[in-house]
């Protein structure tokens, strides 16, 4: 019964039977898993495919042939001997090149070796405690002579700086191998030439003064396209140009306060020796005649730049300028910006300095610390009040070096750069506040009016006259 039903089902006519599909290259069963159905017909076919592929690759591959390299040179006996004698025999041929060679019978010992009776030397005094004695002893001078030479130069009131060049002559070697000092010449500073010469058992010193012209150096020019390069073109050294810019920045905005037709004057301390040596000292005077605005006549007075031109009032004014709290580039300025952590545009109320972790932070101006502690997103923060409603703040510090109430002077260490609070990395966020309102630090100038004794006013003007005249 069961069977007949199956038979019946088998016997049922096939309705809509599909024709056999056409063979396609896709049906080619080439990728056989050789780990399954071992030794089946399909497995053997797979192995055959693999081996024929390997054979095909081996047939395609270039052949392996030995590379030809430099061949070792082989000489016949007489030639090899010659090359060996010259010390350039082939190493591959077992050459003794580089080995010390024994003398032959042709070498005869010297009956006596010549001795130099005098040695002329030039040396420089080394750093630290080397001194003239150190240099001379190092060069083979008898210790007593070296000490005597140093004592003589000291008696001329001169201490020799490291790097001072000394030319000297030593006599014939004594029993111990050291040589006596015969003669010595050096320049002690810019204006004195010292000469030592043997006199019997001792040394005698003679000195020659070198004329030095100490009139200050004056540089004048027009601002033109750029102040810095005009200064350089007029002959100011990079150092002098930088000092000039720093000086006038204490009074005016160098970026916008200087025009093309303005004329600058620099007076620098200068010393010209008759020997040709020139030493240019610090900036003594920085003047600027301005087409628009009052002229500047700045003189260094008690370590500060004082404008003698504005001293028509009771006394000259002193402006110490702003002092950047860290020596680092500004990475973000005052104004609107997109906050990297909070992800929305907001006002950036200060200046960011891209300083390294741990860099010292200095007070921008003299004042009193009114806060030193945690201030929310600002992290560890120091605030300094400078009077006249002016406050500076320094944020994200890693460590603070002052406590509330501390009186600080300009440039005093107040803490170290860090990344505390809302900060993506070590930097200093510096703010200036005027009556509680954040203002652009770029526009701030800490002006303290008339700390100069009014009586000094005349002296300052006399100094300017002296520097500009003559």
For the bound state, the minimum distance from the C-beta of residue 324 to Zn ion, rounded and expressed in Å, comes to 15
CB of 179 or CB of 429, closer to Zn ion: 429
CB of 134 or CB of 421, closer to Zn ion: 421
For the bound state, the minimum distance from the C-beta of residue 363 to Zn ion, rounded and expressed in Å, comes to 18
For the bound state, the minimum distance from the C-beta of residue 296 to Zn ion, rounded and expressed in Å, comes to 33
396 near Zn ion, judged by CB under 5 A? no
For the bound state, the minimum distance from the C-beta of residue 393 to Zn ion, rounded and expressed in Å, comes to 11
Residue nearest to Zn ion (CB): 429
For the bound state, the minimum distance from the C-beta of residue 319 to Zn ion, rounded and expressed in Å, comes to 27
| Residues 401-430 within binding reach of Zn ion (CB under 5 A) | 429
CB of 123 or CB of 421, closer to Zn ion: 421
CA distance 137 to 121: 12
CA distance 147 to 151: 6
CB of 264 or CB of 430, closer to Zn ion: 430
Distances (CA, A) of 78 to 85, 96, 97, 455: 11, 16, 17, 101
CB of 240 or CB of 362, closer to Zn ion: 362
Residue 398 and residue 390 in contact, taking contact as beta carbons nearer than 8 Å: no
Please count the CA atoms within 13 angstroms of the CA of 265 that sit on its side-chain side.
18
User: Which residue from 258, 305, 286 is spatially nearest to 448, judged by alpha carbons?
Assistant: 305
User: Which residue from 416, 411, 297, 329 is spatially nearest to 362, judged by alpha carbons?
Assistant: 411
| Residues 106-145 within binding reach of Zn ion (CB under 5 A) | none
CB of 386 or CB of 429, closer to Zn ion: 429
Strand order across the beta sheet in which 413-416 lies: 360-362, 413-416, 399-400
* Residue 254, H or E segment: none
CB of 316 or CB of 441, closer to Zn ion: 441
For the bound state, the minimum distance from the C-beta of residue 225 to Zn ion, rounded and expressed in Å, comes to 34
Q: 447-470 burial string, b = 16+ CB within 10 Å, else e? A: ebeeebeeebbeebbebbeebeee
For the bound state, the minimum distance from the C-beta of residue 426 to Zn ion, rounded and expressed in Å, comes to 12
- 219 has which bridge partners? 266
CA distance 347 to 365: 25
Residue 340 and residue 305 in contact, taking contact as beta carbons nearer than 8 Å: no
Task: Give the pair of three-digit tokens for residue 293.
Answer: 């605005």
For the bound state, the minimum distance from the C-beta of residue 429 to Zn ion, rounded and expressed in Å, comes to 3
Task: Give the pair of three-digit tokens for residue 229.
Answer: 């390069």
For the bound state, the minimum distance from the C-beta of residue 343 to Zn ion, rounded and expressed in Å, comes to 15
Count of residues making up the chain: 470
In angstroms, the first-to-last Cα distance of the chain is 141
Total residues binding Zn ion (CB under 5 A) = 2
CB of 316 or CB of 426, closer to Zn ion: 426
CA distance 228 to 234: 10
CB of 257 or CB of 354, closer to Zn ion: 354
Site string for Zn ion, 313-352 (x = CB under 5 A): ---------------------------------------x
For the bound state, the minimum distance from the C-beta of residue 323 to Zn ion, rounded and expressed in Å, comes to 19
CB of 56 or CB of 374, closer to Zn ion: 374
Site string for Zn ion, 427-456 (x = CB under 5 A): --x---------------------------
Residue 115 and residue 172 in contact, taking contact as beta carbons nearer than 8 Å: yes
CB of 168 or CB of 334, closer to Zn ion: 334
Residue 59 and residue 72 in contact, taking contact as beta carbons nearer than 8 Å: no
CA distance 9 to 21: 25
For the bound state, the minimum distance from the C-beta of residue 428 to Zn ion, rounded and expressed in Å, comes to 8
Task: Indicate the Cα dihedral angle 120, 121, 122, 125, nearest 10°.
Answer: -140
Binding residues for Zn ion, rule: CB under 5 A, are 352, 429
């Amino acid at each position: 019964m069961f069977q007949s039903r199956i038979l019946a089902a088998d016997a049922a006519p096939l309705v809509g039977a599909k024709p056999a599909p056409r063979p396609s290259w896709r049906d080619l069963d080439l990728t056989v898993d050789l780990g399954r159905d071992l030794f089946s017909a399909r497995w053997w076919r797979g192995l055959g495919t693999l081996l024929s592929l390997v054979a095909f690759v081996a047939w395609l591959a270039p052949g392996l042939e030995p590379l030809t390299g430099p061949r070792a040179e082989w000489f016949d006996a007489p030639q090899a001997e010659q090359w060996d004698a010259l010390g350039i025999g082939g190493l591959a041929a077992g050459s003794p090149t580089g080995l010390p060679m024994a003398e032959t019978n042709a070498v005869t010992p010297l009956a006596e070796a010549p001795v130099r009776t005098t040695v002329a030397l030039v040396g420089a005094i080394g750093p630290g405690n080397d001194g003239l004695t150190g240099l001379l002893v190092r060069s083979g001078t008898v210790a007593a002579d070296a000490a005597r030479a140093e004592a003589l130069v000291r008696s001329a009131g001169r201490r020799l700086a490291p790097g001072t060049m000394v030319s000297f002559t030593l006599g014939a070697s004594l029993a111990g191998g050291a040589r006596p000092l015969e003669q010595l010449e050096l320049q002690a500073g810019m204006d004195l030439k010292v000469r030592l010469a043997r006199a019997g058992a001792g040394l005698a010193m003679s000195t020659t003064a070198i004329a030095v012209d100490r009139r200050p150096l004056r540089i004048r020019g027009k601002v033109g396209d750029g102040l810095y390069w005009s200064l350089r073109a007029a002959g100011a050294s990079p150092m002098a140009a930088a000092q000039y810019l720093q000086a006038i920045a204490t009074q005016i905005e160098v970026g916008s306060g200087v025009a093309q037709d303005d004329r600058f004057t620099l007076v620098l301390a200068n010393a010209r020796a008759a020997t040709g040596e020139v030493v240019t000292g610090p900036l003594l005077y920085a003047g600027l005649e301005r087409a628009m605005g009052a002229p500047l006549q700045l003189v260094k007075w008690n370590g500060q730049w004082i404008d003698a031109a504005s001293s028509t009032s009771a006394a000259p004014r002193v402006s110490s300028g702003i002092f950047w709290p860290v020596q680092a580039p500004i990475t973000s300025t005052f104004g609107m910006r997109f906050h990297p952590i909070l992800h929305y545009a907001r006002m950036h109320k200060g200046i960011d300095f891209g300083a390294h972790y741990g860099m010292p932070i200095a007070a921008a101006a003299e004042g009193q610390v009114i806060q030193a502690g945690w201030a929310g997103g600002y992290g560890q923060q120091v605030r300094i009040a400078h009077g006249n409603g002016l406050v500076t703040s320094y944020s994200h510090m890693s460590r603070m070096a002052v406590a509330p109430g501390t009186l600080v002077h300009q440039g005093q260490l107040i803490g170290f750069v860090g990344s505390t609070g809302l900060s993506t990395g070590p930097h200093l966020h510096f703010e200036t506040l005027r009556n509680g309102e954040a203002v652009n630090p770029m526009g701030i100038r800490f002006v303290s009016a008339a700390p100069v004794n009014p009586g000094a006013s005349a002296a300052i003007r006399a100094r300017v006259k002296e520097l500009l005249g003559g």
